[in-house]
Structure 1
Amino acid sequence: MIRVIAILAFWLLALPAARAAEICNETSYIVEAALGWRSNDEIAVEGWTRVRPGECVRAGPDIPAESGEPLLLYARSSAAYLGGVREWRGDIPLCVGPSDFSAEGVTDCEALGLEQRGFAILRGEHRQRTVLVEPAGFGDRAEEAGVQRLLQATGADIRAIDGVAGRRTTAAIAAFVRNAGLPRVPERPELIDALEAAALRRNATTGLTLCNETGEAAAAVIARQRNDAWESRGWWRLEPGACARVVAERLTTRAIHVYAELTEGNRPLSGGVEVFCVAPSRFLSEGRDQCAERGYAQAAFRQIPEPVEGSATLTFGPEDFDAEPAPIPELRDGGDEE
């Protein structure tokens, strides 16, 4: 992760302008990056710059760097991967779009159909060349690790992401090339692109999706087992008529439970039978016991429907919520897809 210094956003207005930065990707994920910089008296933001594992790409404004002005960076992984989107972020809130975008001087993200994300500050040597990493520290093995992770996302039997092209990886590549009807094994960048496209097609609808047909705004929490222990997390905000994919991996069982509230009046989801811990704002609770002792409230969760081909959808209607408010304080901040 990129180390950042917490600082107020208005400092940008006092600094002269910057030049393009080099973004290097030493992770096993295809990364999409957005950059922010000062433009006149406002902050301009632009995205997305796509960077394959093992690549370096120049992005941002091409302006002389003698001034020493920093850039702002937010990066996310491609949506191709099982387990959801990964982020490389900081503390400066700016607006981003779901696809290619540019924005300047925007303060109300939601009104323009944009989302708010935290940007990291790039100064000094990181201003000229910043390296995105993950805990495994792949370094010059990032490209091969990226191929392995994408093979895994397409359903190949890849058990370890280590950046070493062993027999299992080589066999999985050969099977993918054969099944995709490619005339030969492509060069790594071309192979990465083909694998990403296949993974996006395969995983576009997998996982758990929650839909809100109540006519009011709602917020939801999920509970599931992780490493033999239960955890609950939330909240995901659901606008009227909207859906959110809250779990991105392929589902094999019904062992996920959901709780929700209508935000106007805090009316809780009815019909729940399994009790888990909840909090009034964005949270992650490990364990389902002794909620009060750990500073949480409790709520009764419903089990999700039986998954079909790796996916399940739970739709809320007005009849799914109690008439009386829940005994939990006002909510909620939005959540991220897992």
Structure 2
Amino acid sequence: MALPAASVSVLFSSAPAHADLKICNRMSYVVQAAIGIDDKAATATRGWFRIDPATCRVVVQGALTADRVLLNAHALSVYGSSPIPQSGTDTLCVAEENFVIAAARQCRSGQAPAQFTQITPTQTDDGNLVAYLAEDSEYDDEQARFAGIQRLLVIAGYDAAPIDGVDGPKTQAALSAFLKSRGLSNDAMQSPNFFATMVDAVQKPSSSGITWCNDTPHKVMAAVATDDGKSVTSRGWYRIDPGKCLHPDVAGQPKQIFSFAEAVDGDNRTIKIKDKPLNWGGATQLCTRESKFEINDQGDCATRGLAAIGFAPVDMTSGGKTLRFAVP
């Protein structure tokens, strides 16, 4: 799925920090956030804080006396490549799972460098401090929640586009179909775990469209391509963690769908077994690039600075197809 441009927008002021620090999510994505605390000669990081759309999360309790506060955030892997650009100038250490790193400028085993952006939170009327994650769409809380629901409905295979944060008949019809398919009542939408329920649904094999399932112990990065009879569009990359499934959005009724995936290590280098890359593709050469992409013109990949990779056609005659990636 091609992801729209998004940014981390932080509201700030010069108010002194003296109360709980909260990160609030006004994006249409469920995000994972980590913070860095720079205090004199020491810099520590902690994460991950999962924050649903239209939700706030306390990341520091009590008085905040740090010289600088820094932030790193990314969308969950179900969305494909994270739409949140990390343009910070501080490189600090993080880990895959929940972590606290006391000396975060020198990464050790099991840790990886990540870009952090300095933030200056704003002070609210109740004395707390808050920083907002926001998209260019500038959603308010209600719009962010509906846009987040729409986005996951689309990924799960329901027709809730466009993703605009507007609650209309189309979104309600898609949401009702989703709730019915999962045996949930309409009240489930008010549950604090509703986004977790939706994310879980997206990661299960679907009876329609294409579903990737990662049966390897490695992270898998995948790309999908669609042929509508006029042009072929390739999109990537989607991250599929070990033991997880992902149902990428395939819009319209394409005449043909293609798939490519490869296993990578923590530094995004291709895993090799007996000197052979661990990947799943075919003979159809289509254009890709290392970072997130959506490419409509498949001609002359190399001269445009793109990489041609062999995709495999996916047989969709049964209405749905699950591709399982396993170590041979």
Q: Determine if the TM-score, normalized by the shorter chain, exceeds 0.5.
A: yes
Structure 2 match to 1:274? 284
Structure 2 match to 1:63? 63
For the residue of structure 2 that corresponds to 1:256, the secondary structure is strand
Structure 2 match to 1:144? 146
For the residue of structure 2 that corresponds to 1:138, the secondary structure is coil
- Alpha-carbon spacing, 1:276–1:110, altered in 2? closer, same or farther (3 Å): farther
Q: Is the contact between residue 18 and residue 37 of structure 1 (CA under 8 Å) also seen in structure 2? A: no
Q: 1 CA distance for matches of 2:39 and 2:23?
A: 21
Q: 2 CA distance for matches of 1:300 and 1:176?
A: 35
- Alpha-carbon spacing, 1:36–1:161, altered in 2? closer, same or farther (3 Å): same
For the residue of structure 1 that corresponds to 2:71, the secondary structure is strand
Q: Does 2:259 align with 1:256?
A: yes
- Alpha-carbon spacing, 1:158–1:222, altered in 2? closer, same or farther (3 Å): closer
Q: How does 1:276-291 map to 2 (within 5 A)?
A: 276=286, 286=295, 287-291=297-301
Which moved further from structure 2: 26-35 or 156-165? 156-165
Q: Which has the larger radius of gyration?
A: 1
Q: How does 1:1-338 map to 2 (within 5 A)?
A: 1-2=7-8, 20-38=20-38, 41-60=41-60, 62-65=62-65, 69-79=67-77, 81=78, 83=80, 85-87=82-84, 89-91=86-88, 92-106=90-104, 111-112=109-110, 114-123=111-120, 125=122, 128-140=129-141, 141-177=143-179, 180-182=182-184, 185-186=187-188, 188=190, 190=191, 193-204=193-204, 207-208=211-212, 222=223, 224-225=225-226, 228-231=231-234, 249=248, 254-257=257-260, 273-276=283-286, 286=295, 287-295=297-305, 301-303=310-312, 306=315, 309-315=320-326
Query: How many angstroms does 1:121 deviate by?
Result: 1.4
Deviations 1:25-64 (A, max 9, x none): 2112233321111256432111222333223333225334
One-letter code aligned to 2:95: G
Q: 1 CA distance for matches of 2:246 and 2:188?
A: 32
Q: Is the contact between residue 74 and residue 89 of structure 1 (CA under 8 Å) also seen in structure 2? A: yes
RMSD: 4.8
For the residue of structure 2 that corresponds to 1:36, the secondary structure is strand
Structure 2 match to 1:335? none
One-letter code aligned to 1:29: Y
Query: How many angstroms does 1:73 deviate by?
Result: 0.9
Which moved further from structure 2: 259-268 or 116-125? 259-268
For the residue of structure 1 that corresponds to 2:58, the secondary structure is strand
Q: 2 CA distance for matches of 1:183 and 1:89?
A: 38
For the residue of structure 2 that corresponds to 1:255, the secondary structure is strand
Percent pairwise identity: 21
Query: How many angstroms does 1:123 deviate by?
Result: 2.9
* Count of residues in Structure 1 that have an aligned counterpart in Structure 2: 290
Structure 2 match to 1:325? none
Q: 2 CA distance for matches of 1:187 and 1:274?
A: 42
For the residue of structure 2 that corresponds to 1:196, the secondary structure is helix
Q: Is the contact between residue 222 and residue 259 of structure 1 (CA under 8 Å) also seen in structure 2? A: no
Q: 2 CA distance for matches of 1:295 and 1:93?
A: 28
- Alpha-carbon spacing, 1:73–1:305, altered in 2? closer, same or farther (3 Å): same
Query: How many angstroms does 1:200 deviate by?
Result: 1.0
For the residue of structure 1 that corresponds to 2:91, the secondary structure is strand
Q: Is the contact between residue 95 and residue 117 of structure 1 (CA under 8 Å) also seen in structure 2? A: yes
Query: How many angstroms does 1:171 deviate by?
Result: 4.1
Q: 2 CA distance for matches of 1:187 and 1:196?
A: 11
TM-score (norm 2): 0.64
Deviations 1:284-330 (A, max 9, x none): 5844333443345x65625166478443134565xxxxxxxxxxxxx
